[in-house]
Amino acid sequence: MECTWTGNQNKLPNITGYWKKDGNEIDSRLTVPLENEQYNLKGVFDIVGEESLGNYSCVFGSEAKIEFVLAAPQMGEVRDKPIVSYAGDSVVIACKMEEPKPKPSTWHWYKANGTDKALIDAAAEPHRYQIHSEGGKSTLTVRNLTQADAGFYYCGAVYLISTSLGRLEVRVITFLEPLKPFIAIVVEVLVLVAVILLYERKSKKKSITGSQKTKKEKRENSGGEESSSVRQRKV
């Protein structure tokens, strides 16, 4: 790695330079000469794995510090919304590295299992999974979906120094799922109709009862008048 600093107004013929990783000084301090009106600090580091990645910075005395991050290329074009498919169908999940990022040496796919990631072995279950990888793109096909297939999937672009992961979510629904709002409306209508019919039946029953009561009162009144008339004739 190499850092270049053009210096300040007081350009000293020599300045002390050194490297830091994650805030800790690494290697020995060097005397950096002024050449062509700038200071150049070079460092050679062995990047053997993920432990070698992190935040690096080159420091020129107490005057300047240049920071950068050493990491595997980040995943591009990862879908942020869930992929929805029906039980019994198939679903295709895709991951892609953006150009002109370097292409990974290979790809791996994982299924979230609690807090862990279970590696998907398509060769062991060809009737369930199919993985197709070409350069900077990889796809995973999951066949005969069940509710157990719902959840998060991870695509891993494997580089020599690290693996870059992308996450996608799959939701599995039944064919009745889209009908649920319609079914809910039908149920509400049926309940409303039942309430109306019950109310009308109750109102009709009250009306019949009231009519019968009125007729009875009329008969009683009529009987009373006849008895009074008979008594008057006897007198």
* pLDDT, tens digit, 9 for 90 and up, residues 19-62: 998 888 887 888 999 998 899 998 888 877 778 888 989 999 88
User: pLDDT tens for residues 129-163?
Assistant: 999 999 889 999 999 999 999 999 999 999 888 88
Cβ neighbors of 102 (< 8 A, separation 6 or more) are 73, 159
Question: Which element (helix H / strand E) includes 158?
Answer: strand 151-158
Cβ atoms of 152 and 115 within 8 Å: the answer is no
Q: What is the pTM of this model?
A: 0.61
Looking at residue 174, what DSSP letter applies? -
| Residue 59, φ and ψ in degrees, nearest 5 | -120, 130
Q: Does residue 106 have a pLDDT over 80?
A: yes
Candidates 23, 64, 22, 24; CA nearest to 41 is 64
Please, which pLDDT band fits residue 230 given cuts at 50, 70 and 90? very low
Query: What percent of the chain clears pLDDT 90, i.e. is strictly above it?
Result: 37
The C-alpha atoms of residue 215 and residue 46 are separated, in whole angstroms, by 110
**CA 58 and chain centroid, separation:** 39
Q: Which helix (H) or strand (E) holds 223?
A: helix 180-234
Amino acid, single-letter form, for residue 73: P
Indicate the average pLDDT of the chain.
83
Residue 228 scores a pLDDT above 60? no
Residue 58 to residue 78: CA distance in whole angstroms: 33
**pLDDT score, position 108:** 96
Taking alpha carbons only, the member of 226, 71, 93 closest to residue 163 is 71
Q: How many CB atoms lie within 10 A of CB 134?
A: 9
Task: Examine the pLDDT at 197 and tell me if it is beyond 60.
Answer: yes
The rounded distance, in Å, linking the Cα atoms of 39 and 11 is: 10
pLDDT score at 23: 86
Residue 33 β-bridge partners: 14
Average pLDDT over residues 66-91: 85
For residue 187, give the H/E element and its range: helix 180-234
